[in-house]
Structure 1
Amino acid sequence: MAEPRAASGKSLLFLLISVTLLHSFNLQAVHDILYHRLDFEKYLPNFSHHEFPGVVSRTFLGPVFLSTCLRGCLGVCVTLSLWRMQREVRRQFGSTVAGLFCLTCASQFHLMFYSTRPLPIALPIVLLAFPVGSFLCPSTLVIIVFRSELSLYLGLMLLMSLLSRRLGILQLLYYAIPAGALSLALTVGIDSFFWNKLIWPEDQVLWYNTTLNKSSNWGISFTSLNYFYSALPRLLDRRTRTLLLPTVGFILLYSFLPHKELRFILYTFPVLNIVAARGCSFILNNYHKYWMYKLGSLIVVGQLVTNAAYSSISLYVSHHNYPGGMYIHCFSSMSLFILMYLLPKTGVSHFLELNRNWRYDKREDIGPGHPDMKTYSYVLMEANATHIALLKDSHVPLAFIQGYSNMTLNAFQFPFFSINLGDKLVLLERVPDPEHPS
């Protein structure tokens, strides 16, 4: 069962090589660490996070680790952690549930997609596969260093362990206090060095997202049950209740934040997959008893096939979601000196700076109509007619770059859907100007 899951993760890694703005901090930080090596005294002021700090400061522990192992290893680490979880599922529920768990994970697009993304969200999954009895130290590290909001999820798991007496108070204090102190010292020490100021990144993130509630600036959803519509499994038995209650509690508590995205509850996917696999196993094991179970078995197989088909379609769509990252390769062979403005959320990162004569810029404080835009040899931006018109005196369109636009369904053709591409980006070239000679 490891093979299909590993193959799924590899295909997403190699076909979706670019990242968008939300994923860029870790990727840019890994680039800077790899490119500038250990000459921090000379190059640290030139690190991308000083020039483009973003909304909140994120920890450098993840990028330091990834720069050592490289990005592909993140997908391998997530796969190995899920395999470890599968072995525990096999021990608790049997081989059928374990097999269905593997198939569900392998065919689940978002889980495999984010397992190869350089996001702070993906890194904790590696540590969350530990059994309850040995998860204290890893969970403390995850909360303090990577994702402070996981204190809700892991706190509920901890409470369940205390109530069921699988964990004692003294045992909790024995492991949690040293692990917490070490994790805090580690993140404050390393991140203060890289950010050039005394900082605990996850403290800033928690303050920004919860106390100030500024995450709502990036969009809101008005129902607190938003996550439940697509995340909760339909079948439950006594043995899965301990797994599901903390998961449901975390999703419910986190749903009170106005800004909601599926990736924010990615940590719960493996647990929900275990519960779903247990329910599917119950149906399959009772296949011969009643016609309802036979129908249910067909539904179980059908949902796995549908899940795999959806993941394949999503993979194709996502491949066209990073037009900037794909297109920038075409210009890297030009030898002349060029100053280029890039739109970061199109998939462009420092790893695509393949020409030393090029200078790339992704300032967020300027836009079409700003005087500084006239100094750029090339501008890569959204194909917006109004924005293009603002630059008509200084730049001319050189090429339009297509990306995913929409999907149309047609029951009378095969395949019954078609992916439509549209102009998403435009590459503008500066016209000769006496005031700004090339």
Structure 2
Amino acid sequence: MSSLLDGLILATASVHVFLAPYTKVEESFNLHATHDVLMYGVGPSALPNYDHFVFSGAVPRSFIGSVLLAWISTPVLYAADHFNLLHSKFDLQLIVRLVLTTFNAIVICLIRRAVSRRFGRGTSAMFAILSCTQFHLPFWMGRTLPNMFALIPVNVSSYLLLNLEPNALRPSTLNVRRAISLLTFTAVVFRSEVALLLAAICLQSLLTGSITFGSLVKTGLVAGLSSIGLTVLVDSYFWSQWPLWPELYGLYFNVYQGKSAEWGVSPPHTYFTSHLPKLLLSSLPLAFLSLVLPSSPRNRTWTTFLPHILFVLGLSALGHKEWRFVVYVVPMFNVAAARSAHWLTTRRVSTIFGRICRLIFFGLLAGNIAATYILTRSSMVNYPGGVALATFNDQYANQTNVHVHISNLAAQTGASLFLQTRAPPYPTFFPSLHPASTSTSWTYSKTENLTLGSLTADRRITHLIAESPEAKVAKGWKVTGALYGFKGWKVDRALVGDLKSGRVLERGVGSVWERLVGALSMEEEEMLWILERAT
């Protein structure tokens, strides 16, 4: 049963990679850094070829996660090549994402096993079910956001604090020190907001006597200084700037200078009224229900996720808010929610109260599944740039001397470097990915802010992946393909009236079923066009 639950967690996250294989602009730095490490290596002569020197982003990000991901993925790529599973550079992107997904899923499985040890197998099963029926965490854990790299050590620290010895009321000092070290490393290297979670856990550990103040200071200094040394050494090298501490630079840029406000400001309650409900779905009310359930001192839930509530409260003081800043709290909220779910489903079914409790849980679970289905469906068609470039590669596979310009929207919605399958660089260690002849090499251009007129005037450009509707009728160009993206969901508002009046029954029960199935339909619209030069 335990292995089956672990397999379910891993399978759920992996399926999301295949359902939505493309990536968006917020994932591009780490994805392209991983691409460059795989393709060029990390020697000094390779660095001038790296993508981040051309598309650097608003603030520098650490290379540590990307380098580790590339190196860990390499033996997996060799195995895939051995079994003839590599057919293009895009397959490398899928495998890299699957490797990241696997590591995140393994740590979620560790948390599940700690739940089983502390709260029992029933609660452990509920944790797996709730985690797998949510959308955001399974969907994003295989995406190369810095937050998803940070999620791994954050969840390992949660596992260390949760995995108690039998009858223990608090974690061992050794596990607390390990958790604090991991959180310190994460805040220094990957995401500075984790420092707030670190502060909450340190405070709780001091108040519960899990660690002394002297030991806390010593642990923090050793972990902090060694992490700073590592990120400055590695990232100064890759960015060719000395000294460079990316997360400190980002903290200065976004918080001290207040630049994050340029991406929008939200009211203080946003995390609790918008982001957490989307991230957690039914786990949110279940988690808070666990606070009032009867329990022994060892099984009290509030000690599990109280630091995570304080973390969210701390982040609520900042103006700019995004769901990814608080994604780290999802597993521990799910632990608390699993306690409530297990309690609801173990009430005696012979009583009205027991049947109501089961009805509440299965209703919440059905809501989870429905929301996840809708979000997954919409996300599958929300990467038109990736679909456009993949379609273009297939459409002109037999053509030589191709020079395609990729519009901003296409580059931001999936047209990654891994999809530039017919242009260098090619990994030297996988000859099967090299073209039969170098004369077939294409040119992919992502130069920004070019007008349609300037693109037309540049005779080197043979094709466009354009986002402007005017391109469809531009002189000198011929549309050869249109790519659709997600527009919204359409509700059949007339259905309720037809059901009340009985008109929907006029065509029989089959018609009722068709109307119910089609009551919510997804709408798509043209977003990108493939054009080739006509004259």
Same fold (TM over 0.5): yes
Q: Which residue of 2 aligns with 1:355?
A: 422
**Counterpart contact for 1:30–1:64, Cα < 8 Å:** yes
How much does 1:217 deviate?
Answer: 1.8
Aligned with 1:170 (options 211, 214, 232): 214
CA contact (8 A) 1:342 1:348 kept: no
Distance 1:329 1:197 in 2: 36
CA distance in 1, matches of 2:344, 2:383: 41
Worse overlay, 162-171 or 293-302: 293-302
Which of residues 297, 314, 320 is equivalent to 2:381?
320
Other-structure match for 1:117:
143
Distance change in 2, residues 1:394/1:216 (3 Å): farther
Q: Which amino acid aligns with 1:401?
A: L
Q: Could you list the runs of 4 or more consecutive aligned residues of structure 1 that deviate by over 6 angstroms after TM superposition?
A: none
- 1:216 is displaced (CA, Å) by 2.2
Counterpart residue number, 1:377 = 462
The CA deviation at 1:393 is 4.8
1:12 aligns with 2:47: no
Normalised by the length of structure 2, the TM-score is 0.75
Letter of the aligned partner of 1:381 in structure 2? A
- CA drift at 1:28: 0.6
Matched with 1:435 is: none
Residues 252-263 of structure 1 aligned to structure 2 (within 5 Å)? 252-263=313-324
Identity among equivalent pairs (%): 30
In the other structure, the counterpart of 2:402 is 337
State the match for 1:77 in structure 2. Answer: 103
Asked whether the equivalents of residues 89 and 98 of structure 1 are also in contact (C-alpha less than 8 Å), the reply is yes
Measure the CA separation in 2 of the matches of 1:293 and 1:227: 33
- Aligned equivalents of 1:300 and 1:393: distance in 2? 60
Separation in 2, partners of 1:11, 1:208? 37
Structure 2 vs 1, CA of residues 184 and 236 (structure 1 numbering), >3 Å: closer, same or farther? same
1:390-419 deviations in Å (ceiling 9; x for gaps): x93564544221111111233533153211
- SS of 2:46 mapped into structure 1: helix
Task: From 204, 225, 242, give the equivalent of 2:303.
Answer: 242
Separation in 1, partners of 2:355, 2:312: 33
**Alignment match of 1:413 (pick from 516, 525, 528):** 516
| Mapped contact 1:335–1:355 kept (Cα < 8 A) | no
The residue that corresponds to 2:118 in the other structure is: 92
CA contact (8 A) 2:388 2:528 kept: no
Alignment-mate amino acid for residue 261 of structure 1: E
Alignment TM-score, normalising by the size of structure 1: 0.91
**Structure 1 stretch displaced more, 247-256 or 56-65:** 247-256
Shift of 1:43: 2.7
SS of match in other structure, 2:523:
strand
Root mean square deviation, CA, Å: 2.1
Whole-Å separation in 2 of the counterparts to 1:42 and 1:85? 42
Partners of 1:262 and 1:287 lie apart in 2 by 38
SS in 1 for 2:45: helix
Contact between 1:213 and 1:257, CA under 8 Å: does it hold in 2?
A: no
**3-state SS of the aligned residue for 1:402?**
strand
Residues 160-309 of structure 1: pairs in structure 2 closer than 5 A:
160-198=204-242, 199-221=244-266, 223-230=267-274, 231=276, 232=284, 233-237=287-291, 239-288=300-349, 290-309=351-370
Tell me which moved more, 204-213 or 111-120: 204-213
Q: Partners in 2 of 1:66 and 1:296 — Cα distance?
A: 44
**Could you tell me how far 1:374 is from its partner in structure 2?**
4.0
Checking the alignment, whether the CA contact within 8 Å between 1:338 and 1:358 is kept in structure 2 is: yes
1:10, 1:73 → 2: CA distance?
A: 9
Bigger-Rg structure (1/2): 2
- Between stretches 165-174 and 73-82, larger displacement belongs to 165-174
Comparing 304-313 with 61-70, which one deviates more in the overlay? 304-313
Distance 1:378 1:213 in 2: 41
Q: Does 1:26 find its partner at 2:30? A: yes
Structure 2 unmatched runs, 5+:
74-95, 162-175, 277-283, 293-299, 424-440, 496-514
Count, aligned residues? 426
Q: Aligned letter for 2:329?
A: T
Given that 1:226 and 1:255 are in contact with CA atoms closer than 8 Å, whether structure 2 keeps it comes out as yes
